Chains A and B, each alone.
Chain A
Amino acid sequence: MSKKSNNSKTNKNINVSLTKCLTECENGEEVVVLRVNAGRNAKTRLANLGLVPGVKIKKTKNAPFKGPLEIIVKGSSLVIGRGLASKIIVECNGACLT
């Protein structure tokens, strides 16, 4: 756990990049996955679909009424429930400054 916060602190200081969860991203934003704070099953399923730390993904849309999100991973479109999406921590490369 402490490893994670160390990483994000270092990142913030050196790379001027923003760490946030997937649900906070804008539509059309391209980000890099840092880690997935979900249970083992969900993590494995996401990993099988290509969503692993270090991979570039692009968030495309949001379902209305706080529903699921759609992202593009490795060239294919995935829909992820909001609860799970909020556990995916991503990093955007300085292009977004909210």
Chain B
Amino acid sequence: MSCHSPKNKSKNELNFKDTINIALAGNPNVGKSVIFNQLTGLSQTIGNWPGKTVERMEGRLEFLGYHFNIVDLPGIYSLSTYSLEEIVSREFVISEEVDIIINVIDATNLERNLFFTFQLLELKVPMILAINQMDILRRRNIDLDFKELERIFKLPVLPVVAVHGTGVHQLLEEAIELVVHNRPHRHSREKRLIESKYHGRPRHHSRRKRSIESKHRGHHYYRVEHALKRIESKGTIKKSFTFPELNQITSFGKEVELKILSLIEKINNYEQIVSSCNYPSRFLAIKLLERDLEVIKIFTDNEEGKVIFELSQKYREELESIHGEDINTIISSEIYSNIKKIIDLVLRTKIKKSRERRTLADFFDHLTTHSIFGYLILIAIMFGIYFFTFSLGDFFAEIMDNIFVILSDVVYINYGADNNLVKIFWDGGVGGLVGAIGGVLVYVVPFFLIIEILQDSGYLPRAAFLMDRVMHSLGVHGKTIIPMILGFGCNVPACAGCRIMETEREKKVSVALTSLVPCAATMTVVLGLVGRYLGFYWVLILFLINFSVIFIVGRILNKTLPGQCTELIMEMHEYRVPNYSVIFKQTWVRTKEFVFKAMPIMLLLGIILEILLIFNALEPINVILSPITVLWLGLPAITGVFLIYGILRKELTLVLLSILASSLNVTLLELLTPIQMIIFSLVTMLYIPCFATVILIAKQTNWKYAIQISLLEIVLALFVGGIINFGSLIFISF
């Protein structure tokens, strides 16, 4: 991660490339992503934290002669062990991979945001406070005293308007200052300059940003000052940094504080912890009181630690009986009362707030949560997603197919259509690629776009608000409606969207249910077969069966997966205009990830299937599957292979069927009886999700679960298909 290769720009310039590793931390929806995008642009990559299913967004940039590695941590509210995101974040921050934290704070929600700040302070890592959305605060005629904040926190506090780009690069300058001086620096002249600059809305903010940057590029202060200091990253910035003494603000009430101090003393005497653990003693003391599972593990490893642990529990019980409250509630209350004192000192409303003005955002809020309009809008959005996919995706898919056909003719003319090599590489390889792009990517990209827009604008919590009740009857969390709605377009990004679930259990359930939602590809099959030959009412019936299966699977998972369904607790932030730069960049990054991770596998599958086709290995497959396809489902034997192809792309089942029909010069109606059409469509809807979805399920949970769900769905599909088959046979014989 830290690269120490100096780059020689010119003979006169000194080599001073060093690396600073930054973590962006803050509550959800504070504008972290906007800042992250501004800083890292297209260098972003999405990965996973090693061994975990939490996303890791990283990016790089070079600024003023330094390399910056920036990691955008997930938006969280505290550093407990409630969710994987919190655990991953705190372990990362304390590790050698982070030199500086930039805590992004929403100025319009200062009290709640500072709660997380206080949690971060306990880690004693060099920190810069970035107060974002200052423009909105100004608009509300509220003043924030930055000097006072710096005096209180003894750390750099900077104003930022991320959507305009103001103040963002100043954060990096501040980081450089911290690195060089090893202590928080004083309020500089430049900072005061920037503060006055964010008044009003700059028209050409990109120009402003560039001008600020160019001013600094020519600024020799950094180059000369830092030239001779070569800083070794990997934890030394942290070690040489004197974290300010913040007892004044972080101390709790006497009873709690005394117990914490006593624990700190014991911990400091405990050799093993002091040497091996990176967490500060005060942090460990507080977490022990709060019964933090990960911290308890550290202590109960051996005898000495257990003594301290037991003492902490004794203290906890004493405190709980004094206050009559849970320890977490006690400590949170203490933190909030400390925060209140700070707020009273730094926040000032300039004009007496008159009657609250209703804004457009309020209007949309009422509309989308209305008892009638809310649901209508929800249904409209669901259809909208489906039509958006269907039309945009189809449009591009057709273009791709046409190009492929034209090119295929050229290839066949030059190399022969029966050449096995041609078949493998062109039909299988390139064909598979075209299939992956034309069949999946063109649907998936509009999706990533829609997800980002819905998420950024703030609609999704409103959907969860409306549907929580229904979701509970499914035994599922209210937020699950969100990926399920998206599943109507394409299951692939919808399953990726299940990352918003807070616990593993919720993730598992949502991912399973989302994969059962009929996506646009599945709908193609249903409409093209049942809709076209049997009428619309049968389509509705199939839908009903599909939803019943979703309901049943929800119930099954609810009973079998350990743990309870958690209650909905969700922040609903104001509607806002989506930031297009962020949306496009995020969509691009996710598309890149999909292209590099999922598509190679699909390509491989396409080639394999083509090889099997050449060597006529498919006929045996039909024979092997015939007990299932013919006997159990009552379908013609040839459908065996089509269903296998359907694993790659669901609509292939219908596509291949149509190809067969036209090659035999019959219509689909002659190939399949109505009952067979129904069974075929149902099986396509319910059996294993398309392969890309399976990969995504595995990414969100693990491969074992992905396989389990796939098997469950296959079994269900066969079960339903079989019932209909035998049911119809019995019915007919009457």
Contacts and interface: CB of A to CB of B under 8 A. Distances in A.
Do chains A and B stick together as partners?
A: yes
A76 B566 contact: no
Nearest to A38: B567
A43 B393 CA distance: 45
Contacts of B374: 64
B326 A68 contact: no
Interface stretch (B104-112, B185-193, B440-448, B686-694): B104-112
Contacts, number: 125
A80 B572 CA distance: 10
Contacts of A64: 371, 374-375, 466
Q: What band does the interface of chain B fall in when counting residues whose beta carbon is under 8 Å from A?
A: 35 or more
B81 to A, nearest CB: 10
Contacts of B109: 74-76
B681 interface: no
Contact of B329 (A4, A49, A53): A53
Nearest to A36: B329
Given A64-B371, A81-B567, A75 B112 contact: yes
B571 A78 contact: yes
B91 to A, nearest CB: 19
Nearest to B76: A48
B572 A77 contact: yes
A55 B336 contact: yes
Contacts of A74: 109, 111-112, 336
Nearest to A45: B569
A40 B326 contact: yes
Chain A contact residues, majority secondary structure:
mixed
Interface string B549-576: 0000000000000000011111111100
B569 A50 contact: no
Given A68-B478, A70-B465, A43 B326 contact: yes
A64 B567 CA distance: 17
B184 interface: no
B332 A47 contact: yes
A66 B466 CA distance: 10
Interface in A72-94: 73-84
B465 A79 contact: yes
A67 B469 contact: yes
Given A79-B465, A80-B568, A41 B112 contact: no
29 contacts: A4-B324, A40-B328, A42-B566, A42-B567, A44-B328, A45-B77, A45-B569, A46-B569, A47-B326, A49-B571, A50-B111, A52-B329, A52-B332, A55-B336, A63-B465, A64-B371, A66-B469, A68-B468, A68-B469, A74-B109, A74-B336, A75-B109, A75-B112, A76-B109, A79-B465, A79-B571, A83-B472, A83-B567, A84-B569
Interface of A: 3-4, 35-36, 38, 40-50, 52-55, 61, 63-68, 70, 73-84
